[in-house]
Structure 1
Amino acid sequence: MRKRVVITGLGVVAPNAIGTSEFSKAIQEGRSGITFQPDLADLKFSCQIGGIPPITEEIKHQYFSDLQLHQLNSSGVVYGVVAGIEAWQNAGLSVAGEEPDWDSGIVFGTGMLGVDKFREAIYKVDQGQVRRLGSTVVIQTMTSGVSAYLGGMLGCGNQLTANSSACATGTEALLMAYDRIVTGSAKRMLAGSCSDHGPYIWGGFDAMRVLPYKYNQSPKRASRPLSATASGFVPGSGAGALVLESLESALERNATIYAEVLGGHVNSGGQRNGGSMTAPNSMAVQRCIQKAVEQAGIQVSDIDVIDGHLTATMKDPDEVRGWVNALQRSGADFPYINSLKSMVGHCLSAAGSIESVAAVLELHQGFIYPSINAEDLHPDITAMIAPEKIPQQRIRKDINVVAKANFGFGDVNACVILTKFQP
């Protein structure tokens, strides 16, 4: 018998806020976390802005010892640990004692982890200083580094792993955790993803000319999903984390239930029919959405809000068209649609998890966050859906179903259906 799966814990490290409570306020207010980055200007980047979480030394010391911080070069590890521990504590879960918690596991994904540590290691190896690399170089650069850190800190004894699927990583991690619980292989899973920041990660995108360069003096206006003047995505970083749990376990613990995961789907377009390494196959996008709806056991008319991928590139109208075709809903009948990237930028491998936290907060607290900087909606988009379906200000509204999707490099897609919990 398949288990019902609910979300009982949330944690977030985002460019516009640290911690779930402050993050909820920020996204409701439409607060941008995108700022000018002097180091990018010094390195002659065309795009000199980005979204970097305001993590302080005080916050770091709540999670790491002085010795750990002395050797810790990976911002992604810091972000992942902070978000993961917050989600675990938010769920009211304790740290395992001498014996591992066999019922709890972790799926925590990333894209490129520890690039600064790699750079440091390369210089020391080239200079013949291998013995001075330190003892943490491996765990800071291996893809499963955050899962390993969190697994040891929490004492999880179930599956401990990491995934990497470009921009779809966070949503895929959530669905991997869901699959583990729905089959009874685990009682609870910590799911999330993180992304480092900085010139060594963002430089490749700047070279591809997919980042905006006209807003270096007005960074908060730069990320413009759904807008006619969108000119590229603003790079961001951070981490999101969610505790998924069987309904039986959550009720037994009398845990707060933020939302229920009804199901979802993951697929690839095979880089066919217009799909490529950097562009999605529209047929695969539509199939991913339709299969997610089917697997969740809902009707397309049940969807109240779409939390889109929507990166502020020329592909935004194509994404909206994919939703219109997949759901067979348009005009005023189309669900509300928004993009968190308008406030935090594109957090790459962390995008799906941070945006999933936002979607769960919408369901639990009864609001739809705005897509800022979309005052000049793209005409191709307004030809398909009613302009009022793209909120410019927060809407206070009870909503029941959110469809959350991300589409990543390599022509990979992930879509999850979340709903308000009904006993």
Structure 2
Amino acid sequence: MRNRVVITGLGVVAPNAVGLPAFREAIQQGRSGITFHQELADLKFSCQIGGIPPITETDKKQYFTDLQLQQLNSSGVIYGVMAGMEAWRHAGLPVATDEPDWESGIVFGTGLLGIEKIRESVYKIDQGQVRRLGSTAVVQTMVSGVSAYLGGMIGCGNQLTANSSACSTGTEALLMAYERIAFGSATRMLAGSCNDHGPYLWGGFDAMRVLPYQYNQSPDRASRPLSASASGFVPGSGAGALVLESLESALERNATIYAEVRGGHVNSGGQRGGGSMTAPNAAAVQRCIQKAVEQAGIQPDDIDLIDGHLTATLKDPDEVRGWVNALGRSGSEFPYINSLKSMVGHCLSAAGSIECVAAVLELHEGFIYPSMNCEDLHPAITDLIDPSRIPQQCIQKPVNVVAKANFGFGDVNACVILTNYQIQTAHANE
């Protein structure tokens, strides 16, 4: 029998806000964090905009010493540590002192960590200056670097690891943490993901011509999920983090419970059946959603809201079609659906975790944030679902069940079902 798993802490570093209170306000107001960057223009990028979290030196000093900041030039490490420690503190959990906390672990994923440090290292090594790399070169560039930093700060004695599955990384990390608690291998897990920013990471996407170039003078209009005029995703960066805990532990310490993780599914389309390195296999997407619903023990009609992947590319109508087919719901019977990427861009490996934080806030506080820049809804989407199911202004209403999914390069998929804990408890007692 599986342990019930709940979420008791949240942390976020996003392009439109740093920290949970500011992020909540930003997503309710539909505030964009996408801005123009002169550096990209100077380097002759076609897309000269992106989402970079507005962190300050004061923000950093809440989590790092002056010496650490002198050595750190990996934005991903900074974002991940800030989000992770905010989530841990938000959960009201202490850090270990003399003895490791054997029941607490971390799964914190990323795509490519420390790209600026890697660039610096290449130049120094080529110049024969290997001894000037510094003592933090390895931990700033290894994929598990954020888990290592956080593990030492918290004193975790359980599993300490990182995952990397492109755009599905954050949602997959949450499910990995969920399974560890559900099957009794840990009591608490800090789950999350992060992503660096900058030209050396975003350049490959610009070269692929999958980024929009028409909105360099109006960046807040550029990210257009679900829109007929969508012309590519806007690159973003940041980190999201969630503390997962067994229900028994959360109740014992009288913790605030923000949501329950009911289950989920991770799979791959094998780059078959229309799937490729950059395009999803539609059958695999539908199977991932259906298996997530099945494992969660709910019915498709129970879902109130879909927090979609929805990147503002030609694949948005295909994604909506996948949800329609997987759930057997269409027209006005379809759940509400939104996309955080309309405000923050596509935060790559950080996307899933930042979006999971937003989904939990919607559940706990009873609102549905708006999908921005989709006043011209794609006709292939409105042929499938009623336009009213895509909120363009914040809606205040109870939300009991959210399906959150991400689909990534390599034809990989992850879907998690999150529920309102109070509602589920009421049903359990009927």
Superposition TM-score tier, normalisation by shorter sequence: over 0.9
Identity of aligned residues (%): 83
SS at match of 1:139: helix
The residue number in structure 2 matching 1:168 is 168
Runs of 4+ in 1 over 2 A off after TM superposition: none
SS at match of 1:239: strand
User: Displacement of 1:65 after TM fit?
Assistant: 1.1
SS at match of 1:107: strand
The residue number in structure 1 matching 2:383 is 383
User: Displacement of 1:62 after TM fit?
Assistant: 1.1
SS at match of 2:283: helix
SS at match of 1:46: coil
Aligned length: 423
Partner AA of 1:207 in structure 2: A
The residue number in structure 1 matching 2:317 is 317
The answer to which of 61-70 and 405-414 deviates more is 61-70
The residue number in structure 1 matching 2:407 is 407
Q: Please show how residues 14-413 of structure 1 align to structure 2 within 5 Å.
A: 14-413=14-413
Q: What CA distance in whole angstroms lies between the structure 1 residues aligned with 2:241 and 2:91?
A: 11
Structure 2 residues without counterparts, runs of 5 or longer: 426-430
Q: What CA distance in whole angstroms lies between the structure 2 residues aligned with 1:320 and 1:2?
A: 32
Per-residue CA distance 1:66-116 (angstroms, 9 max, x = gap):
111111010000000000000000000001011000000000000010000
The residue number in structure 1 matching 2:428 is none
User: Displacement of 1:61 after TM fit?
Assistant: 1.1
Q: What CA distance in whole angstroms lies between the structure 2 residues aligned with 1:89 and 1:21?
A: 14
Partner AA of 2:304 in structure 1: D
SS at match of 1:244: strand
Q: What CA distance in whole angstroms lies between the structure 2 residues aligned with 1:361 and 1:67?
A: 35
Q: What CA distance in whole angstroms lies between the structure 1 residues aligned with 2:65 and 2:190?
A: 23
Q: What CA distance in whole angstroms lies between the structure 2 residues aligned with 1:183 and 1:16?
A: 36
Q: What CA distance in whole angstroms lies between the structure 2 residues aligned with 1:135 and 1:251?
A: 42
SS at match of 1:212: coil
The residue number in structure 2 matching 1:421 is 421
Q: What CA distance in whole angstroms lies between the structure 2 residues aligned with 1:273 and 1:388?
A: 32
Partner AA of 1:19 in structure 2: G
SS at match of 1:11: strand
Q: What CA distance in whole angstroms lies between the structure 2 residues aligned with 1:65 and 1:238?
A: 20
SS at match of 1:201: helix
Q: What CA distance in whole angstroms lies between the structure 1 residues aligned with 2:132 and 2:112?
A: 23
Per-residue CA distance 1:357-400 (angstroms, 9 max, x = gap):
00000000000000000100000000000000000000000010
Q: What CA distance in whole angstroms lies between the structure 2 residues aligned with 1:65 and 1:20?
A: 22
SS at match of 2:112: coil
SS at match of 2:192: strand
Partner AA of 1:119 in structure 2: R
Q: What CA distance in whole angstroms lies between the structure 2 residues aligned with 1:29 and 1:107?
A: 31
Partner AA of 2:188 in structure 1: R
Partner AA of 1:326 in structure 2: A
Q: What CA distance in whole angstroms lies between the structure 2 residues aligned with 1:63 and 1:291?
A: 39
Structure 1 residues without counterparts, runs of 5 or longer: none
> TM-score, normalising length from structure 1?
1.00
